[in-house]
Amino acid sequence: MRNMAEKMRRDKLNNYIGELATLVPMVSSSPRRLDKTSVLRLSATYIRIHRTLVSQDGPPRPFLPITLKDFNFSEKVLDEMDGFLFVVMSSGKIVFVSQQVERLLGHTQNDLLGQSVYGITHADDHKLLSSNLSAGGDAEDSMTGSNKCCTVVSGEKDLSSSPSHLSVQSPGSSTNGPTSNKRVSFYLRLSQRAVGRGEAAGYEMVHILGQLRSATTEESQSAMAG
């Protein structure tokens, strides 16, 4: 009887996960089969994107003239600058990352969504990253509350891989202004995806340019503008 109840619980859980796999676009459109943990992670990320980045008060604010509505301006800019866009929580959790990251670092978009940016950052750069994600207070990493912070940042490959470039910007370097609109510019070593099994991952020196924004409903759409 106990085994039967356990089986029914597992079957119900599997059915729910199967439903999520068909409802969440980034899961249903994945070219490869995802395990249950990945389905749950990407489903949570999908909810987080809509709770954090999408305006709750109406349609998204247009960034281009109506005559250019079919032109993907952001993708074109990222391609030309040899960079990628990502949005992270103050805790380092990746809310969004553009597809260009795969070309530059080898990680797919789905591999990184919902993961921590610390997981692909060189251990010696964790302190630098933490100081630049700080908005001057203890932000809650929850899906509600006005003190949750996001960082809208773009990564651009640096032509030199010398660690000395870390000293170009000091930790927390930013322009003057309120912490809810703080600009940051610093260098990080981000890991490249290992091609073969057992192969050690290399690191790419990446110039991070971004802005700290409070993820309130009013600010959520302007945060997307970066």
**Residue 157's pLDDT band (cuts 50, 70, 90):** low
Tens of pLDDT, residue by residue over 94-116, are 888 888 888 888 888 888 988 99
Of the chain, the percentage scoring pLDDT greater than 70 comes to 58
b (16+ CB within 10 A) / e for 22-46: eebebbeebeeebeeebbbbbbbbb
pLDDT of residue 52: 63
Q: In 10 A of CB 129, how many CB atoms? A: 21
Rounded to an integer, the average pLDDT of 43-57 is 68
CB of 109 within 8 A of CB of 101?
A: yes
> Is residue 153 scored above 60 in pLDDT?
no
- Tell me the CATH number of domain 66-225, given options 3.40.50.300, 3.30.70.590, 3.30.360.10, 3.30.450.20: 3.30.450.20
- Tell me the CATH number of domain 2-52, given options 3.30.300.180, 3.40.1800.10, 3.40.50.1220, 4.10.280.10: 4.10.280.10
**Residue 128's pLDDT band (cuts 50, 70, 90):** very high
pLDDT of residue 222: 37
Residue type, 156: E
Distance CA 189, CA 47 (A): 29
